[in-house]
């Protein structure tokens, strides 16, 4: 039984809906008590002029939340979502976006908002490591050649937000190869295309930071894991990188490439490094959705090692807002840490989760540790709070309640995932642990 008094009101889709079409407002807690007290703090600068964003990996967890967020916040921005649709990519995450803003069906809402029938969302299936495809997207030829742009919009991206990645540490321990291909080579392909198409033979003025003089931004979505682990203190943006897993090593390599393209070519790159996210649409291989869905199925919740590893949890919408602040106010060549200062041991986290869900603590099962398991991540977020004026709006408790609520109300979403290839992965990862 779930303690519904601790959750938001049931809303959204019935568990019978085969393809859940998430409502945008479902992404935000509806009840008063779950809404952050501070009014939504938007970046203070004017919106950038109409923009076309190339969002990569937009069908995954954070990318799909970001697309929901950005299309709602910026009625004159257009998003091209380039996603390979690996096991982690799921177009159901964007079904409402496709029908509201997509090519086939720009809605009446959109017309009312923008007096404009043009679609604002385009999905392209493909890899960021595919140079030819990426080039065609940057030049606009992709849409011309595919007759996908009847309104002849200028769909050449002026902003890249690179979420596309292999993102699961445990999978990187089983096989690092796809992590090298996507996280390193893919990022280099994107950087090179941006350099060729944005800079051509000239370079940008690296010191300029005004809207008109800074038409392009390459935002690399990185992670706290690149700093490695620390028992005490917090990592600042100046801390040396010391990644420990094949996943974090590949993300660190991508960060170094981004830095090199800034230093060498003055490509306007910004890197963000965020802590562990929780929220809607997270693939149930990661600890929180794995634990919620296992608890709902009355299955054991595997805790690695002694359960005393510490992570700092942030609600995914706070991360998306931080990325928006960064696009609007961040400085090229800079790095910004993003976190919510909500550190928990894994054991504390799961105890609280089971409490919120009113499931017995006996579901916890200690299993063999993750090889090379980082003990603790912790980020100093002084820079982004002081320089960009961002701060998180969701406490851990509110974020956890909203997340549990979402999984409760989107049972068909996670059941569909768990019944497919995921079952084989789960068996391989946990059955002999």
- Our answer to whether residue 247 is catalytic in this structure is yes
Which single residue brings its beta carbon nearest to ligand NAD?
Answer: 60
- What does 159 bind: ligand NAD, ligand TDX, none (CB cut-off 5 to 8 Å by kind)? none
What does the DSSP 8-state code read for residue 88? T
Residues whose CB falls within 8 Å of the CB of residue 313, separated by 6 or more in sequence, listed in order? 275, 276, 277, 278, 288, 340, 342, 344, 349, 396, 399
How many C-beta atoms surround the C-beta of residue 107 within 10 A?
Answer: 12
For ligand NAD, the closer of residues 106 and 235 by Cβ is 235
Residue 124: which of 40, 57, 45, 29 has the closest Cα?
57
Least Å from the CB of residue 359 to ligand TDX: 16
- What does 79 bind: ligand NAD, ligand TDX, none (CB cut-off 5 to 8 Å by kind)? none
- Our answer to whether residue 224 is catalytic in this structure is yes
For ligand NAD, the closer of residues 248 and 266 by Cβ is 248
Selected binder of ligand NAD within 54, 55, 88, 193 (CB under 6 A): 88
Residue 389: which of 25, 37, 40, 32 has the closest Cα?
40
- Our answer to whether residue 225 is catalytic in this structure is yes
Residues whose CB falls within 8 Å of the CB of residue 224, separated by 6 or more in sequence, listed in order? 235, 273, 274, 275, 276, 312, 337, 339, 377, 378, 379
Residue 250: which of 270, 230, 222 has the closest Cα?
222
Question: Which residue in 224, 324, 334, 343 is the catalytic one?
Answer: 224
Contact yes or no for 110/37 (Cβ under 8 A): no
Selected binder of ligand NAD within 53, 164, 301, 354 (CB under 6 A): 164
Instruction: Tell me the CA end-to-end span of the chain in Å, nearest whole number.
Output: 28
89 binds ligand NAD (CB under 6 A): yes
Question: For ligand TDX, which stretch binds (CB under 6 A), given 86-94, 175-183, 252-260, 300-308?
Answer: 300-308
Selected binder of ligand TDX within 287, 316, 378, 400 (CB under 6 A): 287
| Residues 328-387 interacting with ligand TDX (rule: CB under 6 A) | 346, 370
Angle at 298 between CA 293 and CA 302, to 5 degrees: 70
Residues annotated catalytic, as ranges: 224-225, 247
Residues that bind ligand NAD (CB under 6 A): 56-57, 59-63, 82-86, 88-89, 127-129, 163-167, 182, 186, 221, 223, 251, 274, 276-277, 283
């Amino acid at each position: 039984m779930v303690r519904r008094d601790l959750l938001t009101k049931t809303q959204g889709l019935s568990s019978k809906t085969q393809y859940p079409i998430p409502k945008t407002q479902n992404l935000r807690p509806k009840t008063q008590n779950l809404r952050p007290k501070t009014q939504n703090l938007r970046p203070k600068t004017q919106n950038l002029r109409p923009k076309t964003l190339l969002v990569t990996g937009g069908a995954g967890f954070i990318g799909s939340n970001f697309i929901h967020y950005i299309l709602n916040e910026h009625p004159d921005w257009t998003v091209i979502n380039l996603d390979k649709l690996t096991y982690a990519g799921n177009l159901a995450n964007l079904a409402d976006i496709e029908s509201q803003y997509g090519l086939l069906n720009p809605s009446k809402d959109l017309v009312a908002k923008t007096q404009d029938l043009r679609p604002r969302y385009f999905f392209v299936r493909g890899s960021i490591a595919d140079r030819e495809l990426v080039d065609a997207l940057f030049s606009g030829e992709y849409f011309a050649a595919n007759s996908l742009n009847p309104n002849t919009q200028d769909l050449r991206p002026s902003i890249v937000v690179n979420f596309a990645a292999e993102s699961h540490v445990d999978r990187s321990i089983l096989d690092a190869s796809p992590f090298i291909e996507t996280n390193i080579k893919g990022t280099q392909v994107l950087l090179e295309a941006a350099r060729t198409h944005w800079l051509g033979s000239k370079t940008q003025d690296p010191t300029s930071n005004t809207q008109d003089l800074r038409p392009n931004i390459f935002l690399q979505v990185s992670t706290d894991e690149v700093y490695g682990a620390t028992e005490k203190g917090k990592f600042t943006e100046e801390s040396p990188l010391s990644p420990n897993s094949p996943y974090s090593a590949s993300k660190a390599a991508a960060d170094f490439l981004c830095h090199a393209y800034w230093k060498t070519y003055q490509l306007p790159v910004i890197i963000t490094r965020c802590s562990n996210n929780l929220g809607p649409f997270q693939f149930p291989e990661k600890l929180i959705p794995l634990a919620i869905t296992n608890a709902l199925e009355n299955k054991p919740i595997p805790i690695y090692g002694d359960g005393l590893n510490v992570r700092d949890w942030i609600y995914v919408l706070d991360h998306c807002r931080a990325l928006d602040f960064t696009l609007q106010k961040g400085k090229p060549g800079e790095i910004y840490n993003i976190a919510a200062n909500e550190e928990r041991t894994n054991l504390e986290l799961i105890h609280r989760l089971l409490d919120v869900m009113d499931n017995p603590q006996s579901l916890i099962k200690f299993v063999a540790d993750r090889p090379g398991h980082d003990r603790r991540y912790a980020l100093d977020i002084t820079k982004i709070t002081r320089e960009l004026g961002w701060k998180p709006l969701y406490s851990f408790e509110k974020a956890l309640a909203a997340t549990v609520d979402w999984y409760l109300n989107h049972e068909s979403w996670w059941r569909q995932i768990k019944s497919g290839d995921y079952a084989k992965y789960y068996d391989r990862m946990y059955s002999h642990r």
